[in-house]
Every structure is written in structure tokens, then in C-alpha cells.
Amino acid sequence: MDLSVNYMGLKLKHPLMVGASPLVEDLDKVKKLEDAGASAVVMNSLFEEQILAEEDAKFRHEQDAVVSAEAASYFPDVDDFLMSLDKYLNQIAQIKKSTSLPVIASLNGVSVGGWTKYAKLSQEAGADALELNVYYLPTSPAETGREVENRTLEILKSIKDSVSIPVSVKLSPFISALPNYAHLLAEAGADGLVLFNRFYQPSINIEELEVASVIHFSDSSELLLRLRWLAILDATLPKMSFAATGGIHTAEGAIQAIMAGADALQMVSAVIRVGPSAIKSVYQGMVEWMEKHEYTSVDNMRGSMNLSSCPDASAFERANYMRVLRSWRP
């Protein structure tokens, strides 16, 4: 049975990789992920703010400049970030040296600027590909949807100009016309689209009158949003590589995402909760299911339930919305 996939030109032995998270920070843990069968790892993100803060700190140190407390407080504390820039690049190099895992670096920022030079530095450190995450929340009523999209397109173009490794974009689902945006990203050079960024929603502590940040892990229900959009986008962009992130916990979910059009499947919450063995059990479950249903390769399944191949395309569209609402009776 052939579970290998081609994700943005990377030949992976199977689709299951570890998504962007601190799971890669400790080399011993990365080796355990490899032992558990992960086909690749995505690094935790290097943030634009982190890069600017460290470069500013370096500059201040070099210039021995006196900076006012107000200006210094503009940047987040360097300590707030998990890895320094050199450590980050070194970790890519170490993972490449000590394992045979393909490594996808992750850059996370919201503006075009010097920070994107870390794309090239990540490539030089050994990264096989790069994932760009533009986690941007518009708060101004003056900013249009197209302006928000252009922000990502411009960052993507500047990164593509500086590297030769493939570049994917981790998308937000909150876009009015995803197929159009996905085509613009393809034109701007995206080699892959990662569906979707999880927006960690702040809560409100009503006793302390504070906005509270909570991180919660996913469950399989989050996959449904990914399935719909994978199915729609895969049908309109047949040459694009797709990765699903968000809600991959079971073999059934993994197979659904592949049938919808995913080439790669990223797991984080399941690995944090269960440990590296989560990857092995999803893998084994996939193999068993494929044997039982006589699939000889992942390639045969991929996209078989996308919008242009599935028996009832309307199930992904508005018609299904009406059908579902009308199906319920008190």
C-alpha cells in the first residue's frame, strides 16, 4: 500500500505531520515524533514582533542608545517569546542534522518588511519549506476586505522573491470569497494552502473585568469547516497543495480530509493530549481502513469527494444548509 504524498514538491512517506507548535522545541521530543512515524514537522512560528524586538534590542545594545521607557514598552518583552532568533535557526539545523524529517519553518507576521528576511535565513538553516501565517485582525472600519487580502499577498510575494523553497499560506476561514482569494494567492506564488488558522478567542473575566486569554485544544468537530473548504478549493485549484490543520484526531477524520482534497494533515492538539503515539494510531487506522476498502494508495483517494468529484456537490453548498435546517422536527 502506498501512503506517500507530494506536498508542495516534498515527497512525504504519508500525509501525517506535526503542525506548528512548541512540540519541536526539544530535540529529544522531535526524535520521539519521528519514531512515532511523523512524516514531517512544522516549526513553531517566528513572529514579526519577536524579530523586530530582538533586532531593536541588538541595535540599542550596539549603539548604546538611551531609549525612553515609553519607546521600550512599545515592543513585547523578548522573554515572552519561546526561542531567540538564533536558537530558532539553530533548531532547524539540529532537526535536519539529527533526524530525516522534512522541516517546514513558520513565519508569522502582518506587514511587509525586513523581518521577512528570516524566510531566507530559515532556508539557509536547512528548512525544506516555509509556512506563512498572517494572523491579522482588522479593527478599523476604514479597512476593506481587499486591503486585508492584499496585505498577505504582498508579504507572500516578497518572501517568494527571496527563497527557492516552497511556501504555503496558513489561511483564515473568515474571508468573504475564499475561492477568489485562493486563486490570487496561487497567482502570487503560493505552493500550498493550509486550512485553517485557529483564532484563539479571548474570553471576558466578569469578576476581574479583564480580557482573559485561554488556549483550548481542538476536537474532531473542528474538522468539518476544513472539509467543506478543502472540497471547494481543491476542485478549483487542482495544482495547489493543501494541508488540513484543525481537528485531525482520528483515522476517519484523516481519510475524510484526504477525500476532500488534502495532501497533508497536520496534528497538534491530539499530539499534545495523547503524545506522539497519536500519530501512529491515526496512521494505523488509515492503513486498516484502506485495506478493508481496497484502496492501494492515498493518491487514489485524494480529492475523490471534492466539489467536482463527489456524487452530490450541493451537499457542500447552500442547498445543504436548507436541507439540514428543514430536516429537524420538534
Ligand X SMILES: Cc1cc2nc3c(=O)[nH]c(=O)nc-3n(C[C@H](O)[C@H](O)[C@H](O)COP(=O)(O)O)c2cc1C
Taking CB under 6 A as the criterion, the residue among 245, 256, 259, 286 binding ligand X is: 245
CB count, 10 Å around CB of 231?
26
Q: With respect to ligand X, which residue has the nearer C-beta, 20 or 237?
A: 20
CB 230, CB 303: distance < 8 Å? no
Measured distance CA(160)–CA(191) in Å, rounded: 10
* Residue 253 falls in which region: left (phi positive, over 0), alpha (psi -120 to 50) or beta: alpha
Q: Number of residues in contact with ligand X, rule: CB under 6 A?
A: 23
Q: How far apart are the first and last CA of the chain?
A: 47
Q: Kindly state whether residue 21 participates in binding ligand X, applying the rule CB under 6 A.
A: yes
Q: Kindly state whether residue 267 participates in binding ligand X, applying the rule CB under 6 A.
A: yes
Taking CB under 6 A as the criterion, the residue among 255, 268, 278, 305 binding ligand X is: 268
Q: Kindly state whether residue 246 participates in binding ligand X, applying the rule CB under 6 A.
A: yes
Distance in Å, CB of 82 to ligand X, minimum: 9
User: 67 vs 60, 77, 176, CA distance in Å?
Assistant: 8, 15, 43
Stretch that binds ligand X, among 27-35, 48-56, 141-149, 240-248 (CB under 6 A): 240-248
Touching ligand X, residues 33-72 (CB under 6 A): 44-45
Measured distance CA(317)–CA(122) in Å, rounded: 40
Stretch that binds ligand X, among 54-62, 266-274, 286-294, 322-330 (CB under 6 A): 266-274
Q: Kindly state whether residue 171 participates in binding ligand X, applying the rule CB under 6 A.
A: no
Q: With respect to ligand X, which residue has the nearer C-beta, 10 or 105?
A: 105
The torsion angles phi and psi of 324, rounded to 5 degrees, stand at: -65, -45
Q: Kindly state whether residue 256 participates in binding ligand X, applying the rule CB under 6 A.
A: no
Measured distance CA(235)–CA(254) in Å, rounded: 19
CB 22, CB 182: distance < 8 Å? no
Q: Kindly state whether residue 152 participates in binding ligand X, applying the rule CB under 6 A.
A: no
Interface residues toward ligand X, by CB under 6 A: 19-22, 44-45, 106, 108, 133, 170, 198, 215, 217-218, 222, 245-248, 267-270
